[in-house]
Structure 1
Amino acid sequence: MRTRLLALGLAIAGLLSAALAALAVWRRMGREAADASTEPFAPPITVASPSSKTLPDDLEPHPTGMFAALGRFDYRYRRLLPILGLALMIGLNVWAGQAGGRLIQGGWVIEGSEEQRAAELLADRFGAQATTMLVIFEDPTGDAASAEFQQLVAESLEPIAGDPLVDEITTYADSPVEMLLSEDGTKTLAVVTLTEDEEEAVEGAADLAAKVDAPAGVTTHVTGIPQLYHEFNAEIEADLVQAEIISLPIALAILLAVFGTLVGAVLPLLVAGLALLSAFAVISLLAGVIDVSIFVTNLGTMIGLALAIDYALFMVSRFREELRHHSVEIAIERMMGSVGRAVAVSGVAVAIGLASLIVFEAAALRSMGIGGVITVVLTLLFALTALPATLAMLGPRVNRLRIPLPAPLRLVEDDT
């Protein structure tokens, strides 16, 4: 109970932090707009040319503050930071390919919980252990205990009997116990004990199931924990591919409608790609040390894609706005001093909320919290370094490759 209350408290704290950060940014933007509208000698804001500055480049005052200083750092090393970001992503993936661990299928059972007692009961009554495959045969004549039907069962299981993954096969003919025969006598159960651990058993479950030679006219079902986890994995992979196929084109279309240029629209997707590939590599490396659930990939994809596009959208938009009145260097500093700070605060708030999952006892939930925090941190890293550096290199070229959109489809009016 105390663990749940602590997790709830951390989640609420994260939400409150995000709300306060959004309120602070909103109020700051309101004050800036009010100051701009009441300043008696304010320059007009309809200047369209990026080269039209209020002051020469060498006379423009530099913004102050920690994030403005980070913007100066990004501008100074604008050619190096994107290369370092790409090298970091590639290096992490190469390292993960050599030393990465395997994501686990389970991790949901808490030691001493009712769920664990239920799993032990299933294992005791039905042999449903983590490394056991179950094959159910249904006799159409209604006599599954007969010698003739048991002979069919043995012939059906013969193709997998010599498989290295199979340790032992127990049928009703070998051990005529009640657990291997249904109450009405129409179905019989074969228990296939596997030699490998749970993770290896899951990988081989599909191949073993395909080798079972079902007799003609006999209904056969292959189940068990390895088979169930294998089907879960297949669904997860299919869902990830489907999500990417559907979400990425939609995101690109929205970004094109916002920016009106192909260069500006692609930048958020590049940040998302760098962040997600790096996060998955770190998660794989972490899986070699602790138990990490396979569902972390789903969580990381959702969070990383959303945050990367969201943060990059704000930063690119603010950079283009600042570029209308300032040099590239000052535009980067002003962007980082305002939107960059808001992005950092928002990312910290999201990370705090996800960190609340770490206090749960289930290994799967803990790993989701850790994986989520890793994804957020790497998204922030690339959004606050590689993205501003890339914008600094592009400068006015961020408005290149315009997309001629009809007026009703433009989400933002652009006079650049």
Structure 2
Amino acid sequence: MKNLALFTYKYRKLVLIFWVALVLFFGFFALKLPSILSGSGFEYDGTYQEVEDVLGSEFDIPASSMILFFEKDEVAAQDKFFDYIEETLGNVESVKHTEVFTSPLASPELMKDNRAYAILSFNGSDDGITDNIENIRAQLTNNDLFSAGLTGGPIIEEDMSKAAQDDLVRAELIGIPIAILVLLFAFRGVIAALIPLITGFVSVVVAMGILYFTGEKVDLSIFVLNTSPMIGLALGIDFALLFVNRFREELVGKTTAEANKKTVLTSGRAIIFSGFCVLLGLVAMLFIQVGVFQSVAIGGVAVVFTSVLAAITFLPALLSILGPNINKLTLFKTKEKGTSSWHRFAAFVMKRPIIMAVLTTALLIIGALPVSNMNLVIPEADALPTSYESRTNFEKFEKTFQDSGTTTVPIIARTNKVAAESDSLNKLEGLIKELETDPLVSSVDSIFSATNMSAEELNTSLKVPEIKSQLEPAFKQLTSDNLALLQVQLHADGSSTDAKDWVRDWENKNTNLDLKIGGIPKFQQEIFDEIYNKIWYSLAFILISTYIVLFIAFRSVLIPLKAILMNIISLSCTFGIVVWLFQGGHLGSSPADIALMIPIFAFSIVFGLSMDYEVFLISRIYEIYQETGDNDKATLEGLISTSKIITSAAAIMIVITGAFAFTGIVPVQQMGVTVALAILIDATLVRMVLVPSLMKLLGDMNWWSPLPKRKRKVMH
């Protein structure tokens, strides 16, 4: 750290030029990042995806299918509606790489209650689907009597991407101006207030540029567009706030070079340990092999790396050039007379450690009570704002054409011989009879239901050439070599526990045939199982690695343990309040279940972010304790000197992340509220009350360690 301080001061202009070049280079590619992000990120390399591939390659059922939803006014004539549908489908088929897979004109069951739908398939490359969607939309003509609009998986994902970009701009327009006001209040000077914002901007731009090149190699979810700037901007500003505050303190009575050196040795060291804690939380998500967690982890690692690097190189170089000029353009001076409110608050807490610790713990436990009612779901169309037609059309489609409480599960049965042979047909019939005895199964569509024949009748009919030729279309549609397609109707919603248990049980059941199960229940089951099976590895990694890092930082057995336990309590309280707000509908909107990734994102991200304040506070206490050996004095003075800066840092973090609560995508709203709440609770109840109370109660035991103590020394 000493060499780093000397380097950033000696070559300050060169360091700044290097960072300007980085921003210009990566900034160009950062602007292109949205174009390579795709999907919600809920992709998993499992049986569901295997079935989807087989359905496309062997049974010509398109994976990238879109729903073209038609609607007419009640006064409009039915024959005119048919003409409108026919004309629209003709226009759509003229779009390159687009085919009408099913049409309401050929299948009357696709028309009901003044509504109809067609399934469109896309047979081009994935890169061209955005242009394809826009070209299709350009062919749609709506009027007072008839309307047509797109929905379905690819459309919803595309709209999610657009909404994510809009949300990012909206959140920045809300968060950044308020962050500037907080910085002005904290530093009381324009130049000092702008530096953290500049540092945050620099780190985010470079990180987003790096993510562009990463996204060229691996698939990244659209949620990266929200979570990465959220983390990076908040973290970059937080680090800079700590650094600039210490630099200004050290400038009093010291030269710029001395102030820079002391700041890098103290705040720079704290930033590295703090950033490492955040990094560990994000890396822990890599244990879960689901696209969205991999994407957010990769995006988070990029912004944490650039934030720390900017804080310990760009920032000291910039401050070395500014020197005392950092205090220019002061808006109003700080009154130094009398005892500050922070000193009075710290003294109040330290005099009543037992009462303050008990009251704070009780409040946190009460806040955590609703967490047991948390209901987790995978975000679907209802995650979009109601202004998007893909959401409204999908909701109308579900209401009109899909029975609530039922779902269709495709099963690919693999036989030892060709599916049309007698032995294979007999085994298939036996499997179907077994399926039909299951209480959750309402019906099974197969080659037998399509031909209205039993296995014995099919075996006989296939020996007659004339009848065999008549049966060939059904066999071509429902069999392929030694594969047979079964469509199983369940008396359960696709995302229900019953449906997920059913597909898991049947895939593990011993049958005469090899079964591969797909559909929404399988998709949901694989995602949930992957998370529930791997989350324990993630938690263990976070807790153990964080303990080791904090132990190395503070040479204490109890302080890391105390920090981890308090983080768990405060996060439990956060999740409880989030459940009350969203599931209870207490935010002025309709009740909404919690998006599956929110608790994992929040725990992985916030666990590290909240360690910022732990490291900021304990670093200062530890520094004073090394000089004095007096735990109570170190705790009091450390709390007094860091209270204002921690409060300001937390306020900025809350503003930047909380601004996403005003966005349109529900999971992004939940993410913003969760992180902002967690930081608020952590920076107030935990860091300002619970930590000093316990530090006071434990006394010198705080610093016990089996390792030899570091020598106390004053850094010059």
Which residue, out of 484, 503, 506, partners 1:188? 484
Query: Who is 1:56 aligned against?
Result: none
Alignment of 1:16-35 (within 5 A): 16=197, 18=234, 19=236, 22-35=239-252
Instruction: Give yes or no for contact 1:206–1:227 (8 Å, CA) kept in 2.
Output: no
Which residue, out of 531, 537, 557, partners 1:236? 531
In terms of mean alpha carbon deviation, does 8-17 or 67-76 score higher? 8-17
Shift of residue 382, structure 1, vs aligned partner: 1.4
CA distance in 2, matches of 1:341, 1:162: 68
Query: Who is 2:651 aligned against?
Result: 348
SS in 2 for 1:253: helix
SS in 2 for 1:396: helix
1:292 aligns with 2:594: yes
Q: Percent identity?
A: 15
1:396 aligns with 2:683: no
Rate the CA distance shift 1:306–1:34 in 2: closer, same or farther, 3 A. same
Instruction: Give yes or no for contact 1:139–1:186 (8 Å, CA) kept in 2.
Output: yes
Query: Who is 2:376 aligned against?
Result: 103
Rate the CA distance shift 1:86–1:157 in 2: closer, same or farther, 3 A. farther
Instruction: Give yes or no for contact 1:271–1:309 (8 Å, CA) kept in 2.
Output: no
Amino acid of the residue matched to residue 486 of structure 2?
Answer: A
SS in 1 for 2:411: strand
SS in 1 for 2:377: coil
Shift of residue 326, structure 1, vs aligned partner: 9.4
Query: Who is 2:212 aligned against?
Result: none
CA distance in 2, matches of 1:250, 1:183: 52
Which residue, out of 169, 193, 206, partners 1:5? 169
Query: Who is 1:44 aligned against?
Result: none
Shift of residue 386, structure 1, vs aligned partner: 0.8
Shift of residue 114, structure 1, vs aligned partner: 5.3
Instruction: Give yes or no for contact 2:504–2:525 (8 Å, CA) kept in 1.
Output: no
Deviations 1:216-240 (A, max 9, x none): 3x44211111211111112223342
Amino acid of the residue matched to residue 704 of structure 2?
Answer: R
Query: Who is 2:642 aligned against?
Result: 339
Instruction: Give yes or no for contact 2:367–2:576 (8 Å, CA) kept in 1.
Output: yes
CA distance in 1, matches of 2:396, 2:427: 31
CA distance in 2, matches of 1:180, 1:74: 78
Which residue, out of 419, 428, 438, partners 1:143? 419
Query: Who is 1:156 aligned against?
Result: 431
SS in 2 for 1:143: coil
Instruction: Give yes or no for contact 2:378–2:596 (8 Å, CA) kept in 1.
Output: yes
1:67 aligns with 2:342: yes
Which residue, out of 357, 362, 369, partners 2:672? 369
Query: Who is 1:223 aligned against?
Result: 518
SS in 1 for 2:617: helix
1:277 aligns with 2:605: no
Instruction: Give yes or no for contact 1:133–1:191 (8 Å, CA) kept in 2.
Output: yes
Shift of residue 400, structure 1, vs aligned partner: 2.3
RMSD: 4.1
Shift of residue 170, structure 1, vs aligned partner: 2.9
Deviations 1:65-86 (A, max 9, x none): 3433332332233112222333
Instruction: Give yes or no for contact 2:172–2:659 (8 Å, CA) kept in 1.
Output: yes
Shift of residue 394, structure 1, vs aligned partner: 2.5
Deviations 1:158-207 (A, max 9, x none): 4553444434433332245969935746533322333333442x454244
Amino acid of the residue matched to residue 137 of structure 1?
Answer: A
Instruction: Give yes or no for contact 2:419–2:425 (8 Å, CA) kept in 1.
Output: no
SS in 1 for 2:658: helix
Query: Who is 1:88 aligned against?
Result: 363
Q: Structure 1: which 5+ runs fail to align?
A: 39-60, 406-411
CA distance in 2, matches of 1:250, 1:293: 27
Query: Who is 2:35 aligned against?
Result: none
Instruction: Give yes or no for contact 1:63–1:334 (8 Å, CA) kept in 2.
Output: no
SS in 2 for 1:220: strand
SS in 2 for 1:75: helix
CA distance in 1, matches of 2:575, 2:396: 34
SS in 2 for 1:71: helix
Shift of residue 301, structure 1, vs aligned partner: 1.1
CA distance in 2, matches of 1:70, 1:36: 28
Q: Indicate the structure whose relative CO is greater, using CA pairs within 8 Å and at least 6 residues apart.
A: 1
Shift of residue 3, structure 1, vs aligned partner: 4.1
Deviations 1:111-141 (A, max 9, x none): 54558879999999999x9833221223443
Deviations 1:344-382 (A, max 9, x none): 222222233323433443322322222222322222231
SS in 1 for 2:644: helix
Shift of residue 283, structure 1, vs aligned partner: 3.5
CA distance in 1, matches of 2:374, 2:560: 35
Instruction: Give yes or no for contact 2:606–2:678 (8 Å, CA) kept in 1.
Output: yes
Instruction: Give yes or no for contact 1:236–1:298 (8 Å, CA) kept in 2.
Output: no
1:357 aligns with 2:652: no
SS in 2 for 1:80: helix
Q: TM-score, normalised by structure 1?
A: 0.75
Rate the CA distance shift 1:384–1:153 in 2: closer, same or farther, 3 A. farther
Q: TM-score, normalised by structure 2?
A: 0.46
Shift of residue 330, structure 1, vs aligned partner: 5.5
Instruction: Give yes or no for contact 2:567–2:682 (8 Å, CA) kept in 1.
Output: yes
Which residue, out of 337, 348, 354, partners 1:79? 354
Q: Structure 2: which 5+ runs fail to align?
A: 1-161, 180-195, 198-232, 256-335, 452-472, 585-591
CA distance in 1, matches of 2:498, 2:345: 47
CA distance in 2, matches of 1:221, 1:116: 33
Amino acid of the residue matched to residue 392 of structure 1?
Answer: K
Rate the CA distance shift 1:209–1:69 in 2: closer, same or farther, 3 A. same
Shift of residue 22, structure 1, vs aligned partner: 4.3
Query: Who is 1:54 aligned against?
Result: none
Rate the CA distance shift 1:5–1:90 in 2: closer, same or farther, 3 A. closer
Query: Who is 1:310 aligned against?
Result: 612
Amino acid of the residue matched to residue 682 of structure 2?
Answer: T
Q: How many residues align?
A: 382
Instruction: Give yes or no for contact 1:203–1:230 (8 Å, CA) kept in 2.
Output: no
Query: Who is 1:43 aligned against?
Result: none
SS in 1 for 2:354: coil
Shift of residue 295, structure 1, vs aligned partner: 0.4
Instruction: Give yes or no for contact 2:635–2:696 (8 Å, CA) kept in 1.
Output: yes
Instruction: Give yes or no for contact 1:89–1:274 (8 Å, CA) kept in 2.
Output: yes
SS in 2 for 1:196: coil
Amino acid of the residue matched to residue 313 of structure 1?
Answer: V
Instruction: Give yes or no for contact 2:446–2:478 (8 Å, CA) kept in 1.
Output: no
